[in-house]
Structure 1
């Protein structure tokens, strides 16, 4: 990487004229896909940033299941992604949305900034964009506990504790947990809250992992295994509304009733929870607040300001429905 790469350096590295390289960044004239690729790869290799603002913000949707689970009915990823995208458009930016690290970093030289949604453990995109000096912020923290401070998120732990306490208060004293596979702060916070309350109340930890790609059916299978091994389980907490629908299917297939025999709650709300045969208690995201705060933090970074002092600032609203109605 050159200390002060010029457009001419990029053009020479890519084997094109300076005019052609300029057209790749300006978009004023058509350039072949192969030429565009070579110029952008050269810009990335040399650390070149075009002068002037492009107004383009890259949005990386990190969880692998965010795209595949959309057709299964999971709405949390789509609503967060849509809200952040619209928030950027409303602020006057152009948004480039992708679920691919390679795709986003390939056009990094054309970005003014980036947003990473739900970073992975030791997230490679955060590291790479930081190394290229591209302003980047994240919704949720990198679960590795890295020193990256430009993030905002939800106070998951206290919200989850409140949800589990609600289940206890309605008679659910043996609670199973159906959770997905992706290692991020959301998943870790669920496990932390569930385990903390289980230990403090002296209850067993009944955790089953569902296959993200199998959606409702994966959760149904996991809940079936849970109930077969633990017939005294009278409540199930799930990490998504799709999993909650699967848990409800497992309960009814065993000839049991919701909520009389087994209470069900979803950590995040969504259409499958709202439209279930017995509507499912959930925690609801304020996506407008998420989008507004993400854009605010990104623009603060553009101004060379300071990272947020309070990171976990987005509330979750407890929405009580029939699935956790009090017994009797």
Structure 2
């Protein structure tokens, strides 16, 4: 653990074989510890890379009017501006404006568990964590430091948590599937992502339930989010292996654009030969030919509600949380058989 900037005071106490209080007293020149013990604890803390400088200690005593945001899907991609993806930019921009309405500022922070991370990051009033994966390590780190947080999307590993706001991904999936069925599709393939977050889990669950209710065999595929359009292109042979489906619902817009391109290379075009829709709008869906039907997740509304929830928590209130925001299906030519 040497050199790790995100070591906690609990880690130092465990290594030194003393209480957390003893570590705090040693680092802050308090208590009645012997000088030998005080020096030993300080040396252990330094060797582990524990950072608790005077600025951070002072700031944690009072609010500073700044909240942080961690964009977990972009952490996973290790790319904070993936081509064509404007959902996170829209969310972060709207969150910054909403924060001002609460007298707060917004600070975007990269992956807190990978570092290096400025000590100021752990002195913020609270955090928004977007799309956490199951038992997310960033969430665990914030909890270990007693830093308030809310998540955009549920942490699938915390079913009892209430400090979240989420798009209603079950409803959005049903909107898309119902539209495709109304346009004549009887076999609909589902292309989800591989991140273990509630967006993927809830959409996949809704698709499975829809198939069961409608007597349709599941045709379910998963792609790494980071593969983007290339991943969509590479999937097409598998999509066609058992015959072309009537329709394809791809959660990720970049996957959908790649699927459309590879299908066209095989002489199959939407909406004549199949219908295509996706679970998030992006530049690729709007500018494709034909334009691709997509779900508008309404990131501005999500940002407003998420910031409001966190602001209430940091004020010491006990808000209800568990807020679902209904998405909007934007129908475009890729899924309109009756289009002129």
Q: Distance in 2 between matches of 1:241 and 1:105?
A: 34
Q: Distance in 2 between matches of 1:51 and 1:148?
A: 26
Decide whether the 8 Å contact of 1:274 with 1:280 is kept in 2: yes
Which stretch has the larger CA shift, 233-242 or 64-73? Answer: 64-73
2:224 counterpart residue number: 211
Decide whether the 8 Å contact of 1:159 with 1:316 is kept in 2: yes
Q: CA RMSD of the aligned region, Å?
A: 2.9
Decide whether the 8 Å contact of 1:119 with 1:141 is kept in 2: yes
2:33 counterpart residue number: none
Decide whether the 8 Å contact of 1:69 with 1:213 is kept in 2: no
2:60 counterpart residue number: 50
2:102 equivalent to 1:85: no
Corresponding residue SS for 1:277? coil
2:163 equivalent to 1:153: no
Decide whether the 8 Å contact of 2:95 with 2:106 is kept in 1: no
CA-CA distance at 1:109 after TM superposition: 3.6
Q: Distance in 1 between matches of 2:238 and 2:83?
A: 21
Say if 1:65 and 1:272 are closer, same or farther in 2 by CA, change over 3 A. Answer: farther
Say if 1:106 and 1:226 are closer, same or farther in 2 by CA, change over 3 A. Answer: farther
2:47 equivalent to 1:71: no
CA-CA distance at 1:43 after TM superposition: 5.9
CA-CA distance at 1:89 after TM superposition: 4.2
CA-CA distance at 1:65 after TM superposition: 4.5
CA-CA distance at 1:173 after TM superposition: 1.2
2:237 equivalent to 1:224: yes
CA-CA distance at 1:269 after TM superposition: 1.1
2:6 counterpart residue number: none
Which stretch has the larger CA shift, 118-127 or 46-55? Answer: 46-55
2:108 counterpart residue number: 97
Corresponding residue SS for 2:220? strand
Q: Distance in 1 between matches of 2:105 and 2:29?
A: 29
Q: Distance in 2 between matches of 1:10 and 1:48?
A: 13
CA-CA distance at 1:50 after TM superposition: 3.0
2:73 equivalent to 1:60: no
The TM-score normalised by the length of structure 2 is 0.79
Q: Distance in 2 between matches of 1:286 and 1:176?
A: 25
Q: Distance in 2 between matches of 1:243 and 1:69?
A: 18
| 1:216-250 deviation digits (Å, cap 9, x = unpaired) | 011111123212x1224121111111111011112
Q: Distance in 2 between matches of 1:127 and 1:134?
A: 10
Q: Distance in 2 between matches of 1:4 and 1:133?
A: 19
1:293 counterpart residue number: 305
Say if 1:105 and 1:314 are closer, same or farther in 2 by CA, change over 3 A. Answer: farther
2:259 counterpart residue number: 247
Aligned residues: 301
Query: Which ranges of structure 1 fall in alignment gaps of 5 or more residues?
Result: 14-34
Query: Which ranges of structure 2 fall in alignment gaps of 5 or more residues?
Result: 1-8, 10-19, 31-45
Q: List structure 1 segments (4+ residues) > 6 angstroms apart after TM superposition.
A: none
Corresponding residue SS for 2:184? coil
1:237 counterpart residue number: 249
